């Protein structure tokens, strides 16, 4: 069962890089009756404007982007197992299917929807967002990819609650 833990207890997961690399991760948010989740691989935890902060990146082609642009809160859900559902959330678009219903994962809401089966859940309140400025990206392969398909939006969320399945 998920229980609230102190922010510092995230340190039991070593560091942000290990946390993101060693779990399957899904984001979830909702706005105006639309709820959606997507698998992510990129992100980090740190401090911004004196607040504990999580950073995530959503590509402009994702159905989720429209919902994230307009929602106030989102959740970052770190899973151990559940590969099938994470694969589904990473392949299928919420434009075509109600992914959360089809995944059969149980969802609760604490400002943002989150998954009850996740090992760790971080609830974030959006502090800001910005798109990558292509003139300021210095990786050639990323520039050509972004030229073809568009950039990611960077979302910055204040960490307001952390829940853990013990
Ligand atoms: C392992 C994995 C990691 C992913 N990481 C990201 C990510 O960090 N940002 C992103 O925008 N899409 C990422 N994706 C792709 C989205 O999950 C995928 O395009 C999804 O279908 C989008 O769903 P939506 O259209 O319902 O938003 C990842 C997919 C997988 C399988």
How many Å apart are CA 79 and CA 77, to the nearest integer?
A: 6
**Residue 35, ligand 1, Cβ within 6 A:** no
Neighbouring residues of 139: CB distance < 8 A, sequence distance ≥ 6: none
DSSP-assigned letter for residue 61: T
Global model pTM greater than 0.85: yes
Alpha helices in 8-91 (DSSP H): 16-21, 63-70, 83-91
Q: Which of 38, 42, 48, 49 is nearest to 16 (CA)?
A: 42
Question: Between residues 37 and 12, which one has the greater pLDDT?
Answer: 37
119 alpha carbon to ligand 1 midpoint, in Å? Answer: 20
Helix H or strand E segment including 88:
helix 83-91
pLDDT for 166: 86
Confidence of residue 40 (pLDDT cuts 50, 70, 90): very high
Mutational pocket test of ligand 1: of 25, 41, 129, 146, the residue with most ligand atoms within 8 Å of the beta carbon:
41
Encoded tokens for 58 = 């959503």
pLDDT tens string 75-126 = 999 999 999 999 999 999 999 999 999 999 999 999 999 999 999 999 999 9
39 alpha carbon to ligand 1 midpoint, in Å? Answer: 5
pLDDT tens string 131-152 = 999 999 999 999 999 999 999 9
Task: Compute the residue count for the chain.
Answer: 166
Classify strands 120-131 and 152-165 as parallel, antiparallel or unpaired.
antiparallel
Question: Between residues 12 and 29, which one has the greater pLDDT?
Answer: 29
The answer to whether 105 and 115 are in contact (CB under 8 A) is yes
57 alpha carbon to ligand 1 midpoint, in Å? Answer: 9
pLDDT for 27: 98
Residue 61 predicted with pLDDT over 90: yes
76 alpha carbon to ligand 1 midpoint, in Å? Answer: 13
pLDDT, mean of residues 51-75: 98
Residue nearest to atom 9 of ligand 1 (CA): 58
1 alpha carbon to ligand 1 midpoint, in Å? Answer: 27
Residue 11 predicted with pLDDT over 90: no
The answer to whether 75 and 112 are in contact (CB under 8 A) is yes
Residue nearest to atom 16 of ligand 1 (CA): 90
């Amino acid at each position: 069962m998920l229980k609230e833990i102190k922010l510092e207890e995230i340190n039991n997961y070593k560091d942000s890089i290990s946390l993101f690399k060693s779990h399957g991760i899904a984001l979830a948010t909702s706005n105006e009756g639309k709820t959606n989740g997507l698998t992510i691989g990129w992100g980090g935890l740190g401090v911004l404007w004196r607040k504990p902060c999580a950073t995530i990146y959503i590509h402009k082609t994702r159905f989720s982007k429209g919902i994230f642009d307009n929602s106030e809160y989102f959740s970052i859900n770190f899973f151990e197992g559940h590969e099938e559902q994470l694969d589904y959330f990473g392949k299928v678009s919420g434009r075509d299917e109600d992914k959360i219903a089809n995944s059969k994962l149980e969802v609760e809401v604490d400002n943002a929807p989150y998954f009850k089966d996740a090992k760790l859940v971080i609830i974030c309140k959006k502090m800001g967002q910005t798109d990558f400025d292509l003139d300021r990206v210095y990786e050639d392969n990323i520039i050509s990819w972004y030229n073809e398909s568009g950039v990611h939006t960077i979302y910055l969320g204040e960490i307001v609650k952390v829940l853990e399945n013990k």
